[in-house]
Amino acid sequence: MIVLEPFTADDFSQLMEWVDDERLMKEWSGSMFSFPLTQSGLAWYVEGANDMNDPDVFIYKAVETATGVTVGHISLGGISQRDRAGRITRVLVGKSTERRRGICQGMVKALLRIGFEDLKLHRISLGVYDFNTAAIKCYLKCGFQQEGVLRDVVRHDDDYWSLVEMGILEDEWRALQAG
């Protein structure tokens, strides 16, 4: 089972170890950070995060309950109280050897619970590059629906990456919980 705990400066070195090449960093964060990640480069990222009194962004580390080991990273940002909406960003299963074990699904489901139950959101969206088929399958299993594709939105070296937009509404999530 996966639990989400607040991501803090104490977790920077673990994240820097995982994000060890420029392409992975771009897949994980878009253009939010410069490669390589540094302590000072991450400091702004956690400022004001995880404040239930002023919810703007929630940043988490994913911990496997059986071992107590941190196995991933995920955040929920772009929170609009008026529209009751948020956006999942920066999803990462730490070690590549840990992938395909349901960790991503556990992280996303835990974050959806926080978004829909604790924050009372109506809609949660995300974007995933179209070549990341494992992530797309994970999000579909969690109840997300594909809503469209933004073509050639990011350039990496000589390639362009397209972004699959996905979303889930609170009623869809509640139906999954009941079923």
Domain 2-178 has CATH 3.30.450.40: no
Query: Distance between CA 29 and CA 132 in Å, rounded?
Result: 14
Query: Distance between CA 69 and CA 6 in Å, rounded?
Result: 14
What distances in angstroms separate CA 110 from CA 2, 105, 163, one per listed residue? 7, 8, 24
**pLDDT digit string, tens, across residues 116-133:** 999 999 999 999 999 999
Place of tokens 């705990």: 5
Query: Distance between CA 74 and CA 60 in Å, rounded?
Result: 5
**pLDDT digit string, tens, across residues 57-99:** 999 999 999 999 999 999 999 999 999 999 999 999 997 666 6
CA 144-147-149 angle, 5° bins: 120
